[in-house]
């Protein structure tokens, strides 16, 4: 694996910094724009929410949930309202916010959905309405983990949800057009995976450290961004982002060397340095004809605190994103 990472460093994508909100502490940021305002959602109690007009200065808004929906503790008995890794998208007049509830280090997890017709808390129509559970993983039944959702729409207009962490890899499943349930008959794909050890017990996910899939379409290609290694360890975090691409939403997603991400492939996009212990769990967007990568990093200058980083993505002649060595300086 070290050899693969060293080779990957010679490859890929460049990102130039548009803005860094060094005082904004976040995990797992996702973003969307409505009427000139950017809205950021991230891991936190009730699902943390921020707003900004310039992606630099952020205002903390009231969390999405005052209290967790009743179904969450039925699915995950030790859940206490700290929601993980949301995903935001817009469809048919509503904003769709998917979110994760989970037991730490287990695949006792579920993905839910809450919707709103506006993101402006001052709008009289502002009201989050929970749509319940979309997907659930159960120990001793599933070798995948129902967290870290992301929605991508294929060339035929069908929505797909990518999700997962560790275990036997990251999955892609087809949704119904309304995006509120799995399509039937169900269609599943493994889109990324790393070598793992056998389970030691129901609390040990093995060594297959990958998570946070995010699929971004650029022209006719689908790009699968994935986070490798370990988050959430402050100064000891080893997070990094890798990518592969495919001309089909279901894959296979190949890295720059032609290796499938389902077989451990992945071309390095960005990793930590002396300033940042680890960087990862990205999302990707196009705003006003400019492409952005949004992620968090663990700031060595602030005792390893997780901070928001927003970078502008450029693309080389072969259609891969190109890296600015100063992105994390």
> CA 288, CA 98: separation in Å to the nearest integer?
24
CA distance 207 to 34: 40
Peptide bond just before 84 cis, omega within 30 deg: no
211 noted as active-site residue: yes
Q: Which candidate in 87, 168, 211, 271 is catalytic?
A: 211
d(CA 221, CA 231): 28
Instruction: Locate 30 and state its tokens.
Output: 């996702």
Distance of alpha carbon 253 from alpha carbon 265, whole angstroms: 9
Q: Which residue has tokens 């379409």?
A: 217
For residue 135, the 8-state DSSP code is: E
Strand partners, 291: 286, 313
Sheet containing strand 109-116, edge to edge, reads: 44-45, 82-91, 94-102, 109-116, 129-137
The H or E element that residue 269 is part of is strand 267-271
Contact by Cβ (8 Å): 326, 312: no
- The single residue of 28, 130, 229, 255 carrying the catalytic annotation is 28
Is 142 in the active site?
Answer: no
- Round to whole Å and give the CA distance between 262 and 208: 12
Phi first, then psi: give them for residue 5, nearest 5 degrees. Answer: -65, -40
- The span from the CA of 12 to the CA of 267, in Å, is 7
* CA 240/CA 179 separation, integer angstroms: 30
What CA–CA distance (Å, rounded) separates 261 from 254?
6
Q: Which residues are catalytic?
A: 28, 211
């Amino acid at each position: 694996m070290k050899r693969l990472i060293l080779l990957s460093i010679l490859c890929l994508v460049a990102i130039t910094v548009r803005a860094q909100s060094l005082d904004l502490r976040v995990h797992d940021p996702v973003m969307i724009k409505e009427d000139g305002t950017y809205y950021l959602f991230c891991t936190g109690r009730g699902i943390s929410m921020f707003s900004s007009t310039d992606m630099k200065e952020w205002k903390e808004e009231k969390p999405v949930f005052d209290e967790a929906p009743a179904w969450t503790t039925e699915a995950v008995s030790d859940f206490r309202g700290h929601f993980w890794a949301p995903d935001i998208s817009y469809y048919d007049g509503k904003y769709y916010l998917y979110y994760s509830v989970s037991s730490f280090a287990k695949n006792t997890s579920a993905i839910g959905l809450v919707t709103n017709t506006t993101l402006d808390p001052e709008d009289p129509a502002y009201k989050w309405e929970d749509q319940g559970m979309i997907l659930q993983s159960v120990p001793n039944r599933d070798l995948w983990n129902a967290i870290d959702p992301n929605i991508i729409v294929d060339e035929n207009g069908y929505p797909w949800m990518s999700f997962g962490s560790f275990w036997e890899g990251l999955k892609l499943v087809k949704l119904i057009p309304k995006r509120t349930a799995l399509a039937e008959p169900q269609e599943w794909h493994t889109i990324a995976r790393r070598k793992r050890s056998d389970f030691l017990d129901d609390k040990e996910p093995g060594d297959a450290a990958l998570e946070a899939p995010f699929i971004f379409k650029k022209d006719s290609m689908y790009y699968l961004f994935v986070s490798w290694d370990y988050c959430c360890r402050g100064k000891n975090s080893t997070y990094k982002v890798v990518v592969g691409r495919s001309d089909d939403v279901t894959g296979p997603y190949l890295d720059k060397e032609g290796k499938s991400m389902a077989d451990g492939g992945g071309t390095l996009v960005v990793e930590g340095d002396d300033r940042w212990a680890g960087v990862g769990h990205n999302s990707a967007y196009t705003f006003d004809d400019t492409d952005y990568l949004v992620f968090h990093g663990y700031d060595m200058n602030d005792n390893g605190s997780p901070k928001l980083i927003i970078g502008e993505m450029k693309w080389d002649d072969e259609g891969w994103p190109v890296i600015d060595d100063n992105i994390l300086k």
